[in-house]
Amino acid sequence: MSFSLTDPAVASLLGLSVREAKRGVRGANPLVGAVIADASGQVVATGHHRGAGTPHAEADALSNLAAAQELAARRQNEQTPLDPALANPGPLDPATLTMLVTLEPCNHTGRTGPCSHAIVESGIGRVVYAVPDATDRASGGAAHLVVNGVEVIAGESISEQWVAESGALNARWFRAQREARPFTSLHLAQTLDANIAAVDGTSQWITGDASRQHSHGIRARVDAIIVGTGTILADNPQLTARDAGGELAPRQPLRVAMGHRDVPDTARIRGTGSFEQFHTHDPREVLSELKARGVDHAMIEGGSSIATAFLAADLVDEIWLYQAPKFLGRGRSALDDLGITSLSQALELELDDVDGPAVRQLGNDVLLHLTPRHEDK
Amino acid sequence: MSFSLTDPAVASLLGLSVREAKRGVRGANPLVGAVIADASGQVVATGHHRGAGTPHAEADALSNLAAAQELAARRQNEQTPLDPALANPGPLDPATLTMLVTLEPCNHTGRTGPCSHAIVESGIGRVVYAVPDATDRASGGAAHLVVNGVEVIAGESISEQWVAESGALNARWFRAQREARPFTSLHLAQTLDANIAAVDGTSQWITGDASRQHSHGIRARVDAIIVGTGTILADNPQLTARDAGGELAPRQPLRVAMGHRDVPDTARIRGTGSFEQFHTHDPREVLSELKARGVDHAMIEGGSSIATAFLAADLVDEIWLYQAPKFLGRGRSALDDLGITSLSQALELELDDVDGPAVRQLGNDVLLHLTPRHEDK
């Protein structure tokens, strides 16, 4: 017999699952958080997904549960408390456990195995999920659980707020899936008056070491980096992902040039790793070609015309905005014409507290993490 | 007999005095922090200056000391602890106390009395100060203390770091004094791409309620607010200081128009309080005229040409930069030409952790508090 899902105390378990999800990173995969509670509703394990290639939230929670069980078993063998009430209860019966997860467990074998199968194997008796997985690739997890005797409950019968919050976490991600394109992260590094270069074109370096190190971390996470041919000709960037010591990260993203101008054979972007040029200014076309090549997460590095094109087309899913504490007055603006003439048409953003605080000091710089406000069109 | 000032533990008292100073506000008066320690070096009271018209740091610390003494006396009368070692030691002998203060105590009667006299009256035996007060108006405090039998020690013999940190706190303030002009606070409210209005001129409101409320708090603190005639004609601002409920603050700043264009009789800036127009584009001239009228702290509200003129002339002492999470693409830029053509000439700023965190979320906005990097020219 497990706790009742209509108990008001369940709200704190649901909130915890959302907070767990926010510990993950935006990118190729959705954000998911999972909480495992015992028959009395006490939390015994939590888990979250840390990004492509790492265990899903459910698998993370199951592995934390296993570790907790092992510890409990060891303590039981070692200790004989004076007060029997303090005696360690020993391993939990998995059938009495409930897993609460923000997204329907997947039924897909990718870089990791299907969560629905792992849950069945663990013997967990009950699964409550917030948002159904409607992607072609991974849906069907709930059905697999039911067929294998797990009690499955859809979140809408428990808490509409939970379903809404869990859905909002991945609104932009689901849109990218529907649009059959990679999830996109826009990188902007600018002065406080929003210049990305001085009048004479100098731009190295506007931001400090800590900011550049952080953006190398994002580069190491993505499958592709997109820059305009203008930026390649002006700055000749390497676009490699490096660690703090300057060493190349083990996985290097595909380097993508966008535009019609020729990229010289000597351009540094042609160096380490793969390089590809798309002779177009249409961001949809670039993303669609990248998706066909297996790119699930692309980073848009600049310059201003590329950043503006993706923003104007509503193809930016998150923004990492690095601000250096300086003014240039006149210079090269971070953005060009977005087709906005009046304040009421402004492109509205939301501070995004996923993957760290939305607003943080990074050395002498200020880093903002933002998401374009999602209007489901 | 008091503790030795060469004891390494004194460093923590010095650090505390600087942290105390940072709890104050930048403006008409310098930032000052004070710590009172007993014969063993234990902190018995701290104080800081909260801005023009409020007690100076030394007076604040003395009043906190008096409150602590009163409490100690009351406890002594009420309690008889079982362990005599816990017995309250009762009132301290002021002659055994040391005051450590980041600036030489003033010798000036302004809105508050001279600190040097208050210290003599308190009977405190020893005063250590970091930075000498070189202003015509308030200097001579140390001499008054010595003449009246207080042991006075200049900070340079104790800790160069303390003197440097205490001086850096007020570097821009001392410069304003030397230049015989008011201390200035620049207000900027912009989008994340540094626009203060859309292409069609709409600008109300870029920032949210919490940001506007914060800037009303700054307005209530200053003696004058400066705007360009262009801003008056475009936006017809009231420039009053109001509280969260919309009520006028008890003290309203002088409203100053800067520029050649006529300000209509019906302009709202001519409403509540005093109004003055200076027919010039020279920021030095405006500040000098304001100083002659008794203005010690002026706020520069905009628009972009006024902000740019003060920044280019190095006449901005602190910046409150309110950023709204939105993009406009094209629009009216926050700043115009600063005469900077290359990144190495950028106007460098420092995050300023005085008067609250340098970087903070304010509703949906982000507020940065900044100081132009001071190069003593």
- What is the model's pLDDT at position A105? 93
Chain B positions touching A358 (Cβ under 8 A) are 361
B339/A contact by beta carbon, under 8 A: yes
pLDDT at A147 over 90: yes
Q: Kindly report the backbone phi and psi dihedral angles of residue A366, in degrees, each rounded to the nearest multiple of 5, phi listed first.
A: -125, 125
Average pLDDT over residues B45-52: 92
B6 in a labelled binding site: no
Distance, CA of A17 to CA of A36 (rounded, Å)? 9
| One domain for residues A152 and A188 | no
Do residues A36 and A60 make contact, with C-beta atoms less than 8 angstroms apart?
no
| One domain for residues B271 and B314 | yes
Chain A contact probe: residue of B342, B343, B361, B369 with most A CBs at under 10 A: B343
Cis ω before A205 (30° cut-off from 0): yes
Q: Nearest residue on chain B to A361, judged by CA atoms?
A: B359
Q: Is residue B1 part of a domain?
A: no
Chain A contact probe: residue of B186, B190, B193 with most A CBs at under 10 A: B193
pLDDT band at A89 (very low <50, low <70, confident <90, very high): low
B375/A contact by beta carbon, under 8 A: no
Q: Nearest residue on chain A to B346, judged by CA atoms?
A: A328
Cβ contact B327–A339 (<8 Å): no
Do residues A275 and A255 make contact, with C-beta atoms less than 8 angstroms apart?
yes
- What is the model's pLDDT at position B80? 62
Residue ending a domain, choose from B144, B169, B194:
B169
Chain A positions touching B308 (Cβ under 8 A) are 329
A234/B contact by beta carbon, under 8 A: no
Do residues A303 and A334 make contact, with C-beta atoms less than 8 angstroms apart?
no
Cβ contact A336–B326 (<8 Å): no
Distance, CA of B233 to CA of B75 (rounded, Å)? 64
Of the partner residues A326, A349, A360, the one whose CB lies closest to the CB of residue B349: A326
B306 in a labelled binding site: yes
Chain A positions touching B342 (Cβ under 8 A) are 198-200, 202
Rounded percentage of chain B residues whose pLDDT exceeds 70: 95
B346 in a labelled binding site: no
| One domain for residues A99 and A200 | no
CATH number, domain with residue A359: 3.40.430.10
Helix (H) and strand (E) counts for chain B?
A: 10, 17
Distance, CA of A98 to CA of A42 (rounded, Å)? 10
Of the partner residues B326, B340, B358, the one whose CB lies closest to the CB of residue A346: B326
Q: Looking at the complex, report in whole angstroms how far the Cα of residue A53 sits from the nearest Cα belonging to chain B.
A: 32
Cβ contact A347–B326 (<8 Å): yes
| One domain for residues B247 and B120 | no
pLDDT at A92 over 90: no
Chain-centre distance for alpha carbon A151: 29
Cβ contact A198–B334 (<8 Å): no
- What is the model's pLDDT at position B104? 94
- What is the model's pLDDT at position B83? 59
Cβ contact B366–A368 (<8 Å): yes
pLDDT at A124 over 50: yes
Give me the domain span that covers residue B135: 10-169
Do residues A122 and A149 make contact, with C-beta atoms less than 8 angstroms apart?
no
- What is the model's pLDDT at position B374? 66
Q: Looking at the complex, report in whole angstroms how far the Cα of residue A165 sits from the nearest Cα belonging to chain B.
A: 18
In chain B, positions 174-193, which contact chain A (CB-CB < 8 Å)?
Answer: 191-193
Chain B positions touching A363 (Cβ under 8 A) are none
CATH number, domain with residue B54: 3.40.140.10
pLDDT band at B117 (very low <50, low <70, confident <90, very high): very high
A343/B contact by beta carbon, under 8 A: yes
Of the partner residues A199, A329, A359, the one whose CB lies closest to the CB of residue B359: A359
A375/B contact by beta carbon, under 8 A: no
Q: Write the DSSP assignment of B194-206 as a string of letters.
A: -EEE-TT---TTS
- What is the model's pLDDT at position B376? 53
Least confident piece of the model among A53-67, A73-87, A275-289: A73-87
- What is the model's pLDDT at position B89? 58
Q: Is residue A20 part of a domain?
A: yes
Question: What is the number of residues in chain A?
Answer: 377
Average pLDDT over residues A137-149: 89
| One domain for residues B363 and B234 | yes
Q: Is residue A211 part of a domain?
A: yes
Cβ contact B325–A348 (<8 Å): yes
Query: With the CA atoms of B282, B283, B286 and B292 taken in that order, what torsion angle do they form, in degrees rounded to the nearest 10?
Result: -120
In the annotated binding site of A for Zn(2+), the residues are 56, 106, 115
Active-site residue (options: B58, B104, B165, B318): B58
| One domain for residues B234 and B366 | yes
Q: Nearest residue on chain A to B326, judged by CA atoms?
A: A348
Averaged confidence pLDDT in chain A: 92
3-state secondary structure chain A: CCCCCCCCCHHHHHHHHHHHHCCCCCCCCCCCEEEEECCCCCEEEEEECCCCCCCCHHHHHHHHHHHHHHHHHHHHHHCCCCCHHHCCCCCCCHHHCEEEEEECCCCCCCCCCCHHHHHHHHCCCEEEEEECCCCCCCCCHHHHHHHCCCEEEEHHHCCHHHHHHHHHHCHHHHHHHHCCCCEEEEEEEEECCCEEECCCCCCCCCCCHHHHHHHHHHHHHCCEEEEEHHHHHHHCCCCCCECCCCCECCCCCEEEEECCCCCCCCCHHHCCCCEEEECCCCHHHHHHHHHHCCCCEEEEEECHHHHHHHHHCCCCCEEEEEEECEECCCCEECCCCCCCCCHHHCEEEEECCCCCCCEEEECCEEEEEEEECCCCC
| One domain for residues A233 and A312 | yes
Q: Is residue B141 part of a domain?
A: yes
pLDDT band at A245 (very low <50, low <70, confident <90, very high): confident
Q: How far is CA B247 from CA A319, B217, B240, B244, B275, in A?
A: 39, 12, 10, 7, 20
Cβ contact A194–B194 (<8 Å): yes
B239 in a labelled binding site: yes
Average pLDDT over residues A118-132: 95
pLDDT tens digit string along B155-207? 999 999 999 999 999 999 999 999 999 999 999 999 999 999 999 999 989 99
Q: Nearest residue on chain A to B361, judged by CA atoms?
A: A359
Residue ending a domain, choose from A169, A193, A220:
A169
| One domain for residues B224 and B365 | yes
Q: Is residue B114 part of a domain?
A: yes
Q: Is residue B377 part of a domain?
A: no
B247 is catalytic: no
- What is the model's pLDDT at position A85? 55
| One domain for residues A120 and A69 | yes
Average pLDDT over residues B210-228: 95
pLDDT band at A83 (very low <50, low <70, confident <90, very high): low
A346/B contact by beta carbon, under 8 A: yes
pLDDT at B377 over 60: no
Rounded percentage of chain A residues whose pLDDT exceeds 90: 77
- What is the model's pLDDT at position A86? 54
pLDDT band at B91 (very low <50, low <70, confident <90, very high): confident
- What is the model's pLDDT at position B88? 56
| One domain for residues B136 and B193 | no
Average pLDDT over residues B141-162: 94
Q: Looking at the complex, report in whole angstroms how far the Cα of residue A28 sits from the nearest Cα belonging to chain B.
A: 25
Average pLDDT over residues A309-318: 97
- What is the model's pLDDT at position A217? 93
Chain B contact probe: residue of A188, A190, A193 with most B CBs at under 10 A: A193
Chain B contact probe: residue of A188, A190, A192 with most B CBs at under 10 A: A192
ipTM of the complex model:
0.91
Least confident piece of the model among A135-139, A365-369, B159-163: A135-139
B334/A contact by beta carbon, under 8 A: yes
A289/B contact by beta carbon, under 8 A: no
- What is the model's pLDDT at position A79? 62
A370/B contact by beta carbon, under 8 A: yes
- What is the model's pLDDT at position B1? 65
Cβ contact A361–B358 (<8 Å): yes
| One domain for residues A257 and A316 | yes
Chain B positions touching A308 (Cβ under 8 A) are 329
Number of domains in chain B: 2
Of the partner residues B343, B348, B351, the one whose CB lies closest to the CB of residue A198: B343
Q: Is residue B286 part of a domain?
A: yes
Work out how many CB contacts closer than 8 A connect A with B. 152
Least confident piece of the model among A130-139, A247-256, B162-171: A130-139
Least confident piece of the model among A123-137, A283-297, A307-321: A123-137
Chain A positions touching B204 (Cβ under 8 A) are 343
Residue ending a domain, choose from A135, A169, A203:
A169
| One domain for residues A321 and A199 | yes
pLDDT band at B79 (very low <50, low <70, confident <90, very high): low
pLDDT tens digit string along A210-231? 999 999 999 999 999 999 999 9
pLDDT band at A369 (very low <50, low <70, confident <90, very high): very high
Average pLDDT over residues A8-30: 95
Q: Is residue B276 part of a domain?
A: yes
Q: Nearest residue on chain A to B205, judged by CA atoms?
A: A343
